[in-house]
Amino acid sequence: MQIRYKPRRGLLGTIFQIEILQGMGLTLKRLFSRPITRQYPDEKPRIRPGFRGQHALVRDPATGDCKCVGCMRCAMVCPSRCIRIRSHKDKEPGSRRMIDCYRIEALRCVYCGFCEEVCPVNAIVLTEVFEYSSYDRPSLYFTKEQLLANWDRFAAQLDMPVDVYVNPFWRPRGLAERDLPAPKRLPVPPEWSGEQQVVGRQWQRHLPPEHA
């Protein structure tokens, strides 16, 4: 995928204000078109993969608990500071860190998806569930048990096996597979992996000679 930036405006464009004329033309074109307002809730929108909706903790089928390893990356990267984690580790050698408390205050979340991207084991996910409004604040302050229950409900409504589901934020675009932790090396299409994407000013270097 190539991202091309808008060319610099010339003298004639500055004098005649081409952008204003283009905007007025678009307004006139849409003035006589059919309305596109969706009659919600009678007409449900199509939710595409990667929609950032209700929070959930992925349940590990082997242990029945969440996959979180307590690395604290999601809490550190969160710009709104809405994630709280408390964990402990047994003194026995080789024991994994156990999560005592995992809380997300959904009302403070900006749904950036950073927590999904940095999680090395794909334990946190913003599901495609968008209908979860509430009339009280405590119900949107998700605890670990509520987050696991959110995942169970989301997994039950999937039209695919839960072990096949891949969230786009679990496999960040633009990174080579060798630069990802092992759990993030998920089978995705080449376009999804983003290793061939050309962004920023580098797109000019990849243009054919006749377009350079």
Task: Average the pLDDT over 58-71 and give the result.
Answer: 91
**Between 94 and 31, the higher pLDDT residue:** 31
Mean predicted lDDT score pLDDT of the chain: 83
148: tokens are 């696991």
Report DSSP letters for 27-77, one per residue.
HHHHHTSPP----TTTSPPPPPTT---SEEEPBPTTTSSB------HHHHH
For residue 55, give the nearest of 160, 173, 139, 121 by alpha carbon. Answer: 139
Domains in the chain and their CATH numbers? Answer: 55-170 (3.30.70.3270)
In degrees, rounded to 5, the angle at the alpha carbon of residue 6 between the alpha carbons of residues 206 and 51 is 85
**Between 82 and 160, the higher pLDDT residue:** 82
The 10s digit of each residue's pLDDT in 166-204 is: 888 888 777 777 888 888 888 776 666 555 554 445 545
The 10s digit of each residue's pLDDT in 26-41 is: 888 888 888 778 888 8
* pLDDT above 90 (res 156): yes
Phi, psi at 146, each rounded to 5°: -65, -40
**Between 35 and 56, the higher pLDDT residue:** 56
Cβ atoms of 168 and 192 within 8 Å: the answer is yes
